[in-house]
């Protein structure tokens, strides 16, 4: 009996903490003002919580993201170097 009471108390404490967090973050307002951002964050948290962080899909997405960010960075670096070389 003591063990079940402890589980009930823990569940109650978790519920109270979640309620307090919800009121502090004002998730309702956040959802109304930024629905797509809120959806993206929830999907990301669900993906990670569901074990998707260390999967081949995640590795592929990271490779594509790094390439997409690296190409413009290298282009800017080369353009700056060429400008400096030409005395611009």
- Are 11 and 39 within one domain? yes
- Mean pLDDT of all residues in 10-36: 85
- Positive/negative CA dihedral, 54, 57, 63, 66: negative
Contacts of 78 (CB under 8 A, 6+ apart): none
- Are 60 and 45 within one domain? no
Contact 58, 52 (CB under 8 A): yes
- Mean pLDDT of all residues in 15-19: 85
The percentage of the chain sitting over the pLDDT mark of 70, rounded to a whole number, equals 93
* 1-5, 21-25, 46-50, 82-86: segment of lowest average pLDDT: 1-5
pLDDT score at 3:
64
pLDDT band, residue 2 (cuts 50/70/90): low
> Which pTM was predicted?
0.48
Structural domains in the chain (count): 2
Q: Pick the residue with more confidence: 63 or 31?
A: 63
Q: Which of 37, 36, 57 is nearest to 47 (CA)?
A: 57
- Are 37 and 66 within one domain? no
Contact 43, 36 (CB under 8 A): no
- Mean pLDDT of all residues in 48-73: 91
- Are 21 and 44 within one domain? yes
């Amino acid at each position: 009996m003591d063990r079940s009471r402890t589980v009930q108390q823990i569940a109650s404490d978790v519920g109270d903490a979640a309620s307090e967090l919800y009121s502090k973050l004002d998730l309702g307002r956040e959802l109304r003002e930024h629905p797509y951002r809120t959806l993206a964050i929830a999907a990301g948290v669900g993906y990670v919580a569901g074990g998707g962080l260390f999967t081949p899909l995640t590795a592929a997405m990271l490779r594509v993201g790094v390439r997409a960010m690296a190409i413009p960075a290298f282009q800017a670096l080369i353009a700056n170097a060429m400008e400096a070389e030409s005395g611009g």
